Amino acid sequence: MIKHKAPFITFEGGEGSGKTTQVDILYHKLLQGGIDVVSYREPGGTRGAEEIRHLLMEGERDRWNPKSEALLMSAARADLIDRHIIPRLEADTWVLCDRFTDSTIAYQGFGHELGYEHIQELNHFTVGELEPDLTFIFQISAELGLERTALRKAGIHRFEHYDIMFHRRVAEGFEEILKKNPNRCVAINALLDIEMISEFIYNKICQRFSI
């Protein structure tokens, strides 16, 4: 375990699960409460990682094979950890992250069927002993999630062109992660309304980190 005092909290889930909205809400609530907090998204968060994000999210569906995709995710993550996440945690700043290693397990491990164990090894190589203190996993069916993203004004990205079977496997992957990590992971019913979810998250955080 990397020694840090401030919490490292991640948000995970399939497409259209509403987690990005919740990261923003929590970030502002914590700031208003006087907490020193930063928020990142993956892939992204540094100049290089945002360039990798562009490579991953744009262009035709099959531009990367599954292994290349997993490695690009990890390259972006290694840069974000090294430049921002670890220095911030060591400086006692709370870190929120919209997706982290669990997304690689669910998307590349299950969605692309590279396998849980292989992706765990890759994740371990990429992040070492760093592990989130708390992870919220947003549960939504693949069908409903994709329906929601189809309505998004910004349009859909490369991952949303993968077929429904891929997205069902991703959802199964997140369920497996929940089962395997009951202390770290908390399930969120993504069908509840925004305020109910944000209150639930804030209460969990108050309990867990005594604020």
Binding residues for ligand TMP, per CB under 6 A?
15, 41-43, 73, 99, 103-104, 107-108, 159
| Cβ closest to ligand TMP, residue 32 vs residue 60 | 60
State in angstroms the smallest separation of the CB of 94 from ligand TMP.
20
State in angstroms the smallest separation of the CB of 20 from ligand TMP.
7
The one-letter amino acid code at 180 reads K
| Cβ closest to ligand TMP, residue 104 vs residue 135 | 104
| Cβ closest to ligand TMP, residue 116 vs residue 209 | 116
| Cβ closest to ligand TMP, residue 68 vs residue 203 | 68
State in angstroms the smallest separation of the CB of 54 from ligand TMP.
12
State in angstroms the smallest separation of the CB of 210 from ligand TMP.
29
40, with CB counted inside 10 A (0-12, 13-18, 19+), is buried
